[in-house]
Structure formats: structure tokens, C-alpha cells
Structure 1
Amino acid sequence: MPASNPAQLSVISVIAASLQRERRRAGLSLAEVARRAGIAKSTLSQLESGTGNPSVETLWALCVTLDVPFAQLVEPPKPRVQVIRADEGPVFAAEHSDYIAKVLSACPPNARRDLYLITAQPGAPRASEPHRPGTVEHVVLSRGRALIGLTEEPVEVHPGDYIGYPADVPHIFKALEPDTAAVLVSEHV
């Protein structure tokens, strides 16, 4: 999404504030977080100043480094009743595949899950590096067909199928049909 989009600018400002808050909470310098996450210090500086436009991979690396759930970095505070229309919500695209993750619900305090709407197109799979230890992903496919699960042994799933797998090891989501869609719950321990 272009940074000129007002909704994206809002998400970027939320990410900037969240990164600053979580880096300070962890007691780490900008340089140390960038080093541990495997990103350039200038990239992290831009993100914290609200001028960057991060990929989902960059945000995941920062989440692992800061030991926070993905949605905690990207969701602004919200009212108790929340409706996200199909064309709304913070959206993040993968760098190397046609894969989009939209945060539907961040994990509230003392709970351990985040909820996403995934849309993907055939082509390169969304190859995910291991998330925080103990993370499990649950996926229900709503449209299309996909190979989902552990990188070494993905399973073909169809609309209505459910798959759960450990996400603290390499895993993939590969759309086999155009406009494949799924709901993904990321469960943290």
C-alpha cells in the first residue's frame, strides 16, 4: 500500500509508537534491535520515526527480537466493540510472494492469540521463518486451495478445512488458486 494512503499513514504511526515503546520496554538500543532483527539501523530508525513502510517479514523479525505478538505492533487502541469491514483494517504485504495479512484482532492483555484474514495468489509461497517459541497457527480456508503447514510437509487444504501446526519452525502458505482466502489464528504461549 502506498504511504500516501491515509489509513496506511495511521498504521505506520501506530507501528512507530509501538516500536519505540517496546524497544524501551526491552531496554535495547536502536542499533541492538536492528542487529538482532537482521535489518539496517536506518530502516528501524525510519520505522520509529513513522517514515518507513515495512514488509511483513521486517515486522515479524522485530516481533521476534522484541518478544511481542505481531498485532501488538500494528493495532491502535480500540473500543470494546469493534467491526472491521472487508475493505478496512491494517494490511501488510509479503516481499517475495503475493500474500497479504490483515490484522483483524490483536491479542488483548492476558490472552495469547492474534486473528488475521489472509488473501493470497498463486506463485511464490509465503515462506515464514520460525516465530516465538511455542507459537501455533490455526488456519481455516474459506476460498480457493492452498498448501499450508510445515515447510517440509505442507498439506493441501480446501474451503472449510482446518489445519493447525507449530509456527516456531519454518512454515509456508502457498495459494494454489487465484484469490485464495483464509482466517489465521496465531496462538502464543
Structure 2
Amino acid sequence: MPPDPSPPLATIAAALRQERQRVGISLTELARRAGIAKSTLSQLEAGLGNPSMETLWALCVALDIPFSRLVEPPANSVRVIRAGDGPRVRSEHADFTGTLLTAGTAHARRDVYLIELEPGRIRNAEPHTPRTVEHLVVGTGRMRCGPEHEQVELGPGDYATFAGDAPHRYEALEPGTFFVLIMEHS
């Protein structure tokens, strides 16, 4: 059994396997696309060898990924934001507080928020960028939401989706209402 690869080689090996599997191609096909020997690629995925900058660039081009994706150690696989933590932003015009849980990336254009909403003033939202779609799931309480002329009433566990690129609103019908909002951007 070969020794454990050193950290930079381990990072490169794991990233190569992950990206090749993401694209859905074999070792042979990736080696062909990158113009390198299959044995070289096999060794790199095993965390062996001493890849040159040119070899890594060729693999990045073949996988259509930035160079940093192969050499940057991955972030922790589990990220936790405890209840009440995270960046909270309040609305000026309604008792509506949003906490961004995660922002989208170039490959996953979506943002996830935890929204706290109290009865009283309605949160009227202006249209977002074209082709934005909102998905929401109510955690507790009851609410009314959606485009101005297609409001729906939701309770705990209910899911709704609607176009976010038209005027829409959110209204709490019970104290302590909260929901998870996923904004999908095309």
C-alpha cells in the first residue's frame, strides 16, 4: 500500500476525482482531453507523482474549472449557523428580519435565508432580477405570501414557489412566524 500523500498532493488528488466524477468522464477520457498519459492521471488521482503546472492547467482546461479548484484545500464539509446567529437585516417597512444562511456560487445561483415575520405591516417586495424564482417553506406560524394578485396562505411545513421578478409580498398571520426562503437566480 502506498504511503498517504502529502497535503498538496492529497488536495489535488481529491479535487481531480471529484471534478472528473462531476463531469461524468472516465480516467481515459480526461487524460485524452488533457493530452496527458492515463498512467499520469491515475497516479495524480492516487496522490502520487509531482505534477507540473502545465499538467494541472491542462487538466483544469479539460474539466472547465479554475486552477484554484485543484490546489485549494476544501472548506469544512459541515457549516453550522446556530439559531439567532448570522448576519440579520431588518426591513424598514415591516416586522421582517432576514438572515442570509448561504449565498450562491457561480455554479449554484441561489441564496438561502431564514426569515422572521411578525403580524402588522405587510412586507411589500419589489421585483428582483429577471427569472428569479422564490421557494419557501414555513417553519412555524401562518403567513400569506406571493405575487400581489395570487396570494396564498401557508402554515407549518407548507411549501410555495412563485416568480420573484414581479412585485410580491409577505404577511404574518400569527406571531412568531418564520420560514426558509430560497431565491433561485437564473
Task: Return the match for 1:89 from 86, 90, 97.
Answer: 86
Equivalent positions of 1:1-189 (< 5 A) are 79-80=75-76, 81-189=78-186
Deviation of 1:153 (Å): 1.9
SS in 2 for 1:137: strand
- How far apart in 1 are the matches of 2:140 and 2:97? 14
- How far apart in 2 are the matches of 1:87 and 1:142? 15
Structure number with larger C-alpha Rg: 2
SS in 2 for 1:182: strand
Structure 2 counterpart of 1:164, one-letter code: T
- How far apart in 2 are the matches of 1:108 and 1:115? 12
Deviation of 1:89 (Å): 0.4
Structure 1 counterpart of 2:122, one-letter code: P
**Partner deviation per Cα, 1:56-97 (whole Å, 9 max, x = no partner):** xxxxxxxxxxxxxxxxxxxxxx94432101021001001110
| Matched pairs, number | 112
SS in 1 for 2:113: strand
* Structure 1 residues not aligned, in runs of 5+: 1-77
User: Which residue of the partner structure matches residue 71 of structure 1?
Assistant: none
TM-score after normalising by structure 2: 0.58
Deviation of 1:109 (Å): 2.5
Moved beyond 6 Å, runs of 4+? none
* Structure 2 residues not aligned, in runs of 5+: 1-73
- How far apart in 1 are the matches of 2:107 and 2:96? 29
- How far apart in 2 are the matches of 1:166 and 1:180? 22
**For the aligned residues, what is the CA RMSD?**
1.3
- How far apart in 2 are the matches of 1:142 and 1:84? 16
Structure 2 counterpart of 1:130, one-letter code: P
- How far apart in 2 are the matches of 1:155 and 1:87? 28
TM-score after normalising by structure 1: 0.57
Q: Which moved more, 1:157-166 or 1:101-110?
A: 101-110
Identical-pair percentage: 47
